[in-house]
Structure formats: C-alpha cells, structure tokens
C-alpha cells in the first residue's frame, strides 16, 4: 500500500520581486506522519515555503497541494508585536474564529504539553523569550493541526525546554516540518531533509537523519567537483587540438569541427555544482573610547513564583570585562537586559555617555519600517561614510540589492546579521546581547563568537547555546537561578 502523501509541491515557482525568483520549479512531497527539516541558507526561502503551505501567498506557477481537509498550525519564530499587549488567555482565543466552550481546559492541556507554567491573565509581552517560544508552540497545538510547522522552535529555550520539545516531537504522531539551525536538535527526530538551494532556487530531497544528510550532501558535492575537474581537463585538451587541426586543411578541418561540437557537449554536461553556504567575513566591533567603571550592578530584580524579587549583589564591569547572565526560562534575564538598555534599572549605574550596542532576541530595537540602508545609517552616531556603510553591510551578506528593502522584508536570519552590522558601525562601549545566536546560520556563529570575544569594551550577554558560549572568554557569572 502506497504511503499517504499529505503535502506536495509540483513545479512551484515564486518571486517577491519581478525576475528575482525565490523558488524555481520546487518539487517535493511529504508523507503523513513524517518529521521533515527544511534546510538552507538565510534568505533561501524557507519561511516562504511555510507561507505557501499556509496559503498566505500563491505560487507564480506550479501547484501546492494539501490533502483534503488537512489542517495546518504554525509556531512562528516570534510573537507578533500587535499581540504583546494581550493576556495569555486572549492570545489563545485568537486561534479560533469561534471560541470553543472548553477553551480554558484546552489551554491548560497545551500549556502542560509544552511545559509552560504562567498565569493565563499574564500579559504576553511580559513573558520571557523562552516562555514566548513555548507559547508559540502551544498556540499551534491548540488548533490540533494535521500538519505542524515549526519555525526556529528552539530559539530562547533553555536545555530543559529543548529536551522537553524533543521528547514531545518524537511522540507526536502527526506531520511535522521544521526550520531550525540547531543541528543537534534536528538530528534527534528528523527523518528527511528538503534542501533549498539559494543559488539555483530549487529544492533537493534527502532521506535520513540530519547529520547523515549533511554528510551525503558534502560527499556528493565532492564527487561532482572531482568529475568537473576531470571534464575540464578533457575540454582543455580538446580545445587545444581543435585549434591545431583547424589550421590544417581538408579532413583535419572536418575533424576539428567534429571535436568542437563534442567539446561543447562536454561543457553542457558539466554539473552546476551547488556552492557551499556563504559565511560572513571575520569582523571587529570597534570600541568607544572610554575609561573607568563602565557598569556597576548593585541589585537585580528576579521573577520567582511569578512574583518580582529584588536581590542585592555587587558587580563592576570595566573595559574588557565579559559577563554572562544565566538562569532558567522566566527568571528575568531578558527583562534585566532590557532594563539596562532603557536605563530604568535603579540597581544599575552605567557611566554617562556610554554607547550601548543592543542585540534584542526579538529585534524590538529595529524599526521595521526603515529601509535597510537607513537602519544602518542610524547606527553611525559619530560618522557619515556611506562607502564604509555599504562595505560593512556586504561583509554581513547584505549586498546592494538589500539596501532599498524595508527591514520587515528581511528574513529573521538577515535581521540578525543587520543587527551585528549596526553594532560594527555604532562603535559601542558596552555590548548587551540577548540570545545573539537566535535565527543565525550555524556557519556564522564561530565568527560572531570571535568578534564578541575580542571586543575591548564591556559585554553583558545571555545565551543558551553552550558551543557558542565556550568560544567566549567569561570574566563574570551572574547566575540568577542561584541568587
């Protein structure tokens, strides 16, 4: 009996801008109950695939087929800004056109499924990043979808949260399609990969766990490179013979013509090898000229049993001091960082005149209505050099074609790279980084860690990614869970 297909893409093409395709003739199918990863570089079109599945956008050509009556639920990367003022209960109610009579019971079930313990009258915007990540998943689950779409579900989750999510997905008996840059997470449950090639705008389908697929892709590319090298040598030799025989008369000239046609066929048969994902270039975040005590922390506000508690401490950060803030989801890490940026923390004193470079986990500090060029320009507080601006942007893969796009048009990964480009242009004295690995292609992370490690100013950051943290020198530990 043939396996039941719940989703199919048949020769699907799509473009946002005329003659700048995101997808060309994408072809793949997903069988019922399978666990599939969408893989590809930032901007390759992974979120576009999700929008096509949901029917938010229509293909330019081809067909997206969803099994009759199959429902779709999506756990997005971030909570919509318009929903931040809603209570948790009201947020869940928005999942339905008609609110079911047992909504409170259903809310309790899905919150338990994702290990989310917060009052339902709590404002969504007051939840931590990890709690919001769980809320996004629970919002999708309460719709009981036949196809569950997860967009970077591990962002902001601590180890306990990721472990709970993996356990849930392994036991989940419906179809799941995931976008994530967390390789270890994906390898725990992935049964296949749909790879989006950003250069050729096509899809490639692989079967197997995530690491096996990555190895298979690497081995295939190497075989294609070796075959191309052999064919290039043959083509070069034939062209030399064609040129030699063409100078002769009679039969030799006919042979030259025949060999020229064969050489052209060889060139056409060379494999168009997919380029490896591009990585950003090594970069340095210049430091604002500053001396003395940059930050003095006298107290920290924590959240315990859903109530704020102020705990005294004594921490001083000077030039070159790197401090990591740790603790379980919901204890107040992001709230603490936001209070530093807004200068609304009475227990913290930041030296007057210090420029703060802030990486927000939800990009709340970016103006989505600005063009990319203007967003970068606004970060250059003490400088006016458009040539330098464009050079820095290009080093973060934000080339000329992006400059006139609105920030809202960028993928989440591209928003992350924009945020780092802004830090380079700003020349801050203090870096405050809230989950700086969120949304970022794993190939970029060692380069980003190196830049943070070498920053000569003060650094305060939160990150749940252990491999990233170990590449950064830590001088101070603010462990909120132990205070």
Least confident segment among 374-378, 407-411, 458-462: 407-411
CB 346 within 8 A of CB 441: no
Do 316 and 434 share a domain, yes or no?
Answer: yes
**Which residues share a beta bridge with 39?**
195
Instruction: Give backbone dihedrals phi and psi of 407, rounded to 5 degrees, phi first.
Output: -55, -35
Indicate the number of domains in the chain. Answer: 2
- Do residues 340 and 445 both lie within one domain? yes
Domain presence at residue 162: yes
Is 102 a member of any domain? Answer: no
**Residue 392 lies inside a defined structural domain of this protein:** yes
196 forms bridges with which residues in the sheet?
A: 203
Host domain of residue 62: 5-71+145-213
Last residue of a domain, one of 213, 245, 260: 213
Residues 41 and 170 in one domain: yes
Answer yes or no: is pLDDT of 376 > 80.
Answer: yes
Q: Answer yes or no: is 276 within a domain.
A: no
Based on the domain organization, do 421 and 333 belong to the same domain?
yes
Cα 293-297-302 angle, rounded to 5 deg: 160
Span 79-111, pLDDT tens digits: 888 899 999 999 999 988 889 888 999 999 999
Q: Is residue 344 domain-resident?
A: yes
Decide which of 164, 195, 213 is a domain's last residue: 213
Q: Does residue 105 fall inside a structural domain? A: no
- Is residue 18's pLDDT more than 70? no
268 pLDDT tier (thresholds 50, 70, 90): low
Asked if residue 43 and residue 189 are part of one domain, the reply reads yes
Q: Tens of pLDDT along 270-322? A: 555 445 457 889 999 999 998 889 999 999 888 887 788 888 999 999 999 99
Instruction: For residue 193, give the CATH number of its domain.
Output: 3.40.50.300
**258 domain-assigned:** no
Among 213, 238, 268, the domain-final residue is: 213
Any domain includes 59: yes
Instruction: Please indicate, yes or no, whether residues 316 and 190 belong to a single structural domain of this protein.
Output: no
- The angle, 0 to 180 degrees and rounded to 10, between the axes of the packed helices 372-379 and 386-395 is 110
| Claim to verify: residue 37 and residue 177 sit in the same structural domain | yes
Long-range contacts of residues 92-97, Cβ cutoff 8 Å, at least 24 apart: 92/120, 92/138, 92/139, 92/142, 95/139, 95/142, 95/143, 96/143
């Amino acid at each position: 009996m043939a396996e039941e297909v719940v989703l199919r893409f048949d020769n699907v093409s799509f473009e946002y801008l005329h003659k700048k395709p995101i997808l060309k003739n994408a072809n793949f199918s997903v069988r019922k109950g399978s666990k599939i990863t969408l893989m590809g570089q930032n901007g390759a079109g992974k979120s576009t695939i999700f929008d096509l599945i949901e029917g938010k956008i229509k293909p330019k050509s081809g067909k997206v087929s969803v099994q009759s009556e199959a429902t779709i639920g999506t756990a997005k990367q971030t909570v919509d800004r318009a929903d931040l003022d809603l209570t948790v209960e009201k947020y869940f109610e928005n999942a339905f056109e008609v609110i079911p009579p047992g909504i409170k019971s259903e809310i309790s079930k899905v919150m338990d499924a994702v290990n989310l313990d917060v009052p339902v009258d709590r404002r969504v915007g007051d939840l931590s990043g990890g709690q919001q990540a769980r809320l996004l998943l629970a919002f999708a689950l309460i719709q009981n979808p036949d196809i569950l779409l997860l967009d970077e579900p591990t962002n902001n989750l601590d180890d306990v949260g990721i472990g709970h999510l993996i356990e849930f997905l392994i036991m989940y008996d419906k179809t799941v399609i995931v976008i994530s840059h967390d390789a270890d997470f994906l390898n725990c449950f992935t049964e296949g990969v749909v790879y989006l090639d950003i250069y050729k705008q096509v899809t490639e389908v692989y079967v197997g766990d995530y690491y096996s697929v990555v190895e298979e892709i690497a081995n295939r590319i190497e075989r294609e490179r070796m075959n191309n090298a052999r064919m290039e040598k043959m083509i070069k030799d034939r062209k030399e013979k064609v040129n030699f025989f063409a100078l002769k008369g009679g039969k030799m000239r006919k042979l030259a013509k025949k060999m020229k046609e064969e050489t052209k066929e060889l060139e056409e048969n060379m494999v168009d090898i997919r380029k490896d994902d591009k990585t950003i270039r090594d970069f340095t975040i210049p430091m604002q000229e500053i001396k003395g005590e940059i930050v003095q922390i006298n107290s920290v506000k924590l959240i315990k049993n859903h109530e704020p508690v102020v705990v005294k401490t004594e921490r001083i950060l000077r030039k070159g001091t790197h401090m990591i803030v740790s603790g379980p989801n919901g204890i107040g890490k992001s709230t603490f960082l936001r209070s530093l940026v807004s200068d609304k923390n009475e227990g913290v004193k930041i030296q007057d005149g210090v420029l703060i470079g802030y990486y927000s986990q939800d990009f709340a500090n970016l103006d989505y209505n600005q063009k990319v060029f203007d967003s970068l320009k606004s970060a250059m507080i003490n400088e006016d050099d458009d040539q330098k601006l464009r050079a820095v942007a290009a080093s973060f893969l934000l080339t000329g074609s992006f400059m006139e796009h609105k920030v809202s048009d960028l993928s989440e990964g591209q928003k992350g790279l924009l945020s780092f480009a802004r830090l380079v242009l700003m020349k801050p004295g203090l870096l405050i980084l809230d989950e700086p690995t969120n949304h970022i292609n794993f190939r970029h992370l060692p380069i980003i860690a190196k830049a943070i490690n070498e920053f000569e100013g003060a650094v305060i950051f939160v990150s749940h990614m252990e491999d990233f943290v170990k590449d950064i020198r830590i001088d101070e530990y603010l462990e909120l869970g132990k205070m």
